[in-house]
Structure 1
């Protein structure tokens, strides 16, 4: 076998080592290649590395096997690099360049300048364990240095910190955080109110939990006029990473007086570090947060599904806003069993330790990258809901996980498997945004490739008129979010569109817009499209509604943008969920124009109820159809709670033989219900199998569903209809085509039972 490296090619500019030759491997044996590298003084640390082994047939040249991974190398110096995993006080550090040093000095303090409560240890080896019980969330800081290194006093490492958390209890939920692998039970104290109308008497109660890892004490007793407390104990032994959730139910005189979800979140070790070029199967959630809000904190709950058929490991990296993602951030490694979904609730706080204390400035805001490390499969799915809450309930927005291959870029493919983005369009479009007395909009940008990017942000009105154009620039891996009014001076946009271009030769960019109701502060996320990649004659917007009842009301506004180069004549047809169809008079939409249809069902079709709206053109066109379905607030006049619904072309749906669709982050409980919508896209019938997967099970419950041509069906409270119980958390729905020539799309609407705020969850 012949080996050579980049020292033979000094002008190449890239470092590499390569061995090539003919060999054989016996069954069960392994091939190992060891590379020693010496970095220059300007090299980053950690140093991003890529390694691959390719096995080919010596006669045909066909590739028989491939193994590759992205990793980082640590460049040693006299300064150790310290780390402390979330949820633990186990401090570890890297060795120093002086190999004779095997003892280090470790300092702990409760202040970042090490002026208070300092504990100093002299430790042989590269780790030590501290232990402090706490009654309130407490931050501990650590630094490490060698007594001497290469004849001089060793410098201190960068300061690292850990927040030791106490259980969090709100009106509807309770959460305790422990390190993964822990076997120590954790207790949560939960307040139980006196039943309404019984304040003058002690009343009997019984308390029960529905998961084997939860117990409650006392399980019965009396509730005095001022209420009482019970203690829920969670045993984390053998539980998987993420939030494991059950329900506490307290009953008095045959009626429920308290129903609360109770979670024990097992968090994996977190270390500081940047990120480089991701593999092509990486996913990016553009924004996650834990930050103060007017009535409660904003937080992000993430779901991660491994549908690869084998256990998979993921590097999950958080990059704070306005930082260079190759040099800053936090990273954790999470293993997910085959065909399982894990819940990473309040991920910025529980996993990355930001926003735990009440001190000013303790918050986290940035982007999240999910990078498979041991598989090239694209069968990884992720989603996020960012929300806040008031005394009545929660309101929030679904944030889609964006595949790295969907980022806009001018860069070319990196020539190794999984190495980078394909050649895609360099323009993103976001519509149905506003900056007005009723709504405000925040625009977010994320660079994903680890290379700097720059371009323009163009703001248009619905007629296609350019209102303003501004330049932007992004550091490698950077996340930015800015307000249209405060940062871009766009102050009077009743309804419009934003266009983001990538003009630089490097970098890959995605974007999102968070449109916030000024009265209710309910946000909805608008995700981007690349109009140059759209070519279809049919566009379907499901979930359009117009009805009012004693308990709720829903209405829909719709926008249609012509991203092509010529005017297009469009026919709109409404397909109600109860059957039939209503067509509107055809209309023409100019290039660059957005047609606005507020209250679309009565305005365009003189109709009500709910269903799909289908737009057709006689020849291929580049239309972008989006909708917003919302309810008018009962207690905040003029305010709304809503969800953004993107249109779907037939090519974006599934047909016979296509991989199934996945819908994540569903729940059926006292707090939420989940409805699933299904629509046929081509005008041909199709048969579906709908399966529900819940945590801790390997077997899915399934039902058949037939769709006629163009039919729209909504299955209300789908998890309840499957008979999965009164309380189901972190469920996943799988939709696949079993027969028929039609194509289908699917989505879920997760509705807060108290605020009626809907969150639209598209199928992936």
Structure 2
């Protein structure tokens, strides 16, 4: 591994590793660090390691002359991560039609461009009580590159890291080539004493999974969370003339001087589908109908989709539906800040299907921290044919302060935008918390937010969708799972917890570590409608933690809670929002 030096200085150093049991030594243990940097050799013992990616930290204690501003009693610590991946055999084989409990990650890739390097880090957690096998099938957007399969073993309660999965596991990128596509994760049951049978699929979902796709730059990373969607949630054409086709909606999209929008559509059943993509402005006026034919198993990403169709749009939305064919599809949008280059991913949600009278958007902010200026822009879509009167109540985090309330009407088919929500609609600044949106009757509103760090070089943000009681868990439910968490020289993590039903709850928070048999935990009492965000990993005294998983369990009270992780790059301050999964 390479450790960069300090310009114009040659400095003595000593090197050491953190306490991962498989990381044995680093050489040389001492020497000089020239301006061009130094190469170190880390020795590891893979004897007891299963398949997956494992990361440790190498620390250099660098001695500086005198006591300038960069030094601490003449010594400063420089840390750098080093990873090792133990891979499994890959075969060129298509996966066939997925079972209903298969998980689909709609976009994974390894892409090198001008001053950019995109990769996908995937996590697969076995939340069952027994060891499990998972078949991972990568289908590239270019079918000529071939569909590839591998099988991994995951012990009970373990989260397997698959960093830069397309290059490391499937070998694409070793010779400079690139690929983007779809990853299918399906549980596999063993076929007696023989090898696992790929079509002998267990009937119980045993896994939660996710991916972070990001651009690696010299100044840190810019990334977006990509969920693993159950195949059962993919949509098809209308079953008959008496029933309308399910429509997936995307909002928080834009095409202007500040933002551009890429739209992705993927077919997962292996059958062809004809799709209609429709674009609307914030008042519900239709701007475009765009037909698209997909082959079975095809993923199509339409870059700068709005600009390519000569549409300028500050705030709009997209609808996607299947018009013919037997295929099953899902969709996403990647909205990219033109100044910072930071992307955020918007997943398609069924419109007009799930009606509630209480929605909660956690992680709303108007906060100036000294190193970041956090703001939240909310949007409320009313997909019905009648206006909807809504009440918004803001509950500040970690506070017994009186909640603030406002109200407004969202017109039929309108996408109401609430930019800089806390300051503009509540008159609040330097505060964070959760916004509760209530209606007199159950209504299929779609409520989303974009919380971002506002800088002179654009924004660095994360997409947040509102949660309801259907997304939350109570005392008799199994824990929520939050993957992809880290607290290291690369990233820091905050965990947010919101009570969503107006009743108190006590939450047990556990941090599942990949290299330890000990599970640190704490309990957090939440009042009715309470919200808390805290650096859980740090608050438990943990350092240099990679591939952590946090579980949230209600252990007392009648309330129900939802949660998330916000993983923030230490250099760019770019956040990635990781929604808790049941």
* TM-score under structure 1 length normalisation: 0.70
Note if contact 1:571-1:583 (Cα within 8 Å) is conserved in structure 2.
no
CA distance, structure 2, for counterparts of residue 221 and residue 300 of structure 1: 35
Cα deviation, residue 487, structure 1:
7.8
Following superposition, the deviation at residue 723 of structure 1 comes to: 2.1
Stretch deviating more after TM superposition (583-592 or 673-682): 583-592
Matched, 1:744 2:547: no
TM-aligned CA deviation for residue 367 of structure 1: 0.7
Bigger shift: residues 446-455 or 227-236: 227-236
Q: Does 1:384 align with 2:199?
A: no
Question: Residue in 1 aligned with 2:450?
Answer: 628
Aligned with 1:598 (options 405, 419, 422):
419
Which residues of structure 2 form unaligned runs of 5+? 64-73, 190-201
Give secondary structure in 2 for the equivalent of 1:262: strand
The question of 1:203 aligning with 2:12 is answered yes
Aligned residue runs from structure 1 range 277-676, under 5 A: 277-323=97-143, 328-358=146-176, 362-374=177-189, 375-410=202-237, 426-485=246-305, 489-577=309-397, 578-608=399-429, 609-634=431-456, 636=457, 639-676=458-495
Q: Counterparts of 1:566 and 1:235 in 2: how far apart (Å)?
A: 65
Q: Give 1:499 deviation, angstroms.
A: 0.3
- 1:399: Cα distance to partner? 0.5
Shift in Å, 1:424: 11
Deviations 1:116-151 (A, max 9, x none): xxxxxxxxxxxxxxxxxxxxxxxxxxxxxxxxxxxx
> Are 1:561 and 1:594, in contact at CA under 8 Å, matched by a contact in 2?
yes
In structure 1, what is the Cα distance between the partners aligned to 2:349 and 2:47? 44
What SS class does the counterpart of residue 297 from structure 1 fall into? strand
Q: Once superposed, what is the RMSD of the aligned Cα atoms?
A: 2.0
The reply to whether residue 697 of structure 1 matches residue 516 of structure 2 is yes
CA change 1:190–1:586 in 2 (3 A) is: closer
Whole-angstrom CA distance in 2 between matches of 1:543 and 1:574: 11
Q: 1:734 pairs with 545, 551, 554, which one? A: 551
Distance between the aligned counterparts of 2:36 and 2:264, measured in 1?
47
Q: Do the aligned residues in 2 keep the contact of 1:572 with 1:615 (CA within 8 Å)?
A: yes
Q: How has the CA–CA distance of structure 1 residues 261 and 736 changed in structure 2, closer, same or farther, with 3 Å as cutoff?
A: same
Question: Which residue is 1:686 aligned to?
Answer: 505
The aligned residue for residue 57 of structure 2 is 247
Gap change, CA 1:234 and 1:649, over 3 Å in 2: same
- Does the aligned pair in 1 maintain the 2:474–2:561 contact within 8 Å? yes
TM-fit CA distance, 1:225: 5.9
Deviation at 1:279, TM superposition (A): 1.1
The match for 2:197 is none
For the residues of structure 2 that align with 1:602 and 1:735, how far apart are their CA atoms? Answer: 31
What SS does the corresponding residue of 1:349 show, helix, strand or coil? Answer: helix
Give SS of 2:566's match. Answer: strand
1:167 — aligned with what? none
Distance 1:759 1:689 in 2: 23
**What is the distance in 1 between the residues matched to 2:284 and 2:306?**
23
Q: Is the 8 A contact 1:193 1:257 kept in 2?
A: no
3-state SS, counterpart of residue 470 of structure 2: helix
Query: Residue 78 of structure 2 aligns with which residue?
Result: 258
Match of 2:88 in 1: 268
Give yes or no for contact 2:105–2:211 (8 Å, CA) kept in 1: yes
> In the alignment, is the contact (CA less than 8 A) between 1:573 and 1:581 conserved in 2?
no
CA-to-aligned-CA distance 1:681-725 (integer Å, 9 cap, x gap): 111111111111010334422211111111110012x1111222x
Give the one of 729, 753, 762 matched to 2:570: 753
Q: Aligned residue for 1:185?
A: none
How far did residue 614 of structure 1 move?
0.8
Q: Distance in 2 between matches of 1:259 and 1:340?
A: 26
Contact 2:110 2:119 in 1 (8 A): yes
Conserved in 2, the CA contact under 8 Å of 1:193 and 1:258? no
| Equivalent residue, structure 2, for 1:91 | none
- 1:504 is paired with a residue whose SS is strand
Q: Separation in 1 of the partners of 2:428 and 2:378? A: 15
1:520-552 CA-partner distances (Å, limit 9, x unpaired): 110000011112321100011000000223222
Q: Is the 8 A contact 2:261 2:306 kept in 1?
A: no
Report the alpha carbon displacement of residue 506 of structure 1 after superposing the two structures with TM: 1.1
2:28 to 177, 194, 218: 218
**Range with bigger deviation, 333-342 or 586-595:** 586-595
Q: Deviations over 1:573-621 (max 9, x none)?
A: 1111123344444221122111001100011100121000111000110
Deviations 1:278-298 (A, max 9, x none): 111100000001101342310
Which range moves more in the overlay, 332-341 or 501-510? Answer: 501-510
Asked whether the equivalents of residues 582 and 605 of structure 1 are also in contact (C-alpha less than 8 Å), the reply is: no
Q: Greater relative contact order (Cα 8 A, min sep 6): structure 1 or 2? A: 2
Q: CA deviation at 1:508?
A: 0.9
Question: Per the alignment, do residues 554 and 202 of structure 1 end up closer, same or farther by CA in structure 2, a change over 3 Å counting?
Answer: closer
**8 Å contact from structure 1 (residues 190, 232) kept in 2:** no
Q: CA separation in 2, counterparts of 1:424 and 1:276?
A: 28
Partner Cα separation in structure 2 for residue 226 and residue 433 of structure 1 = 43
Task: Note if contact 1:452-1:507 (Cα within 8 Å) is conserved in structure 2.
Answer: yes
Q: CA deviation at 1:408?
A: 1.3
* TM-superposed deviation, 1:566: 2.0
CA contact (8 A) 1:247 1:262 kept: yes
Cα distance between partner residues in 1 of 2:136 and 2:278: 32
C-alpha distance 368-396 of structure 1, shift in aligned 2 (>3 A): same
Cα displacement (A) at 1:455: 2.3
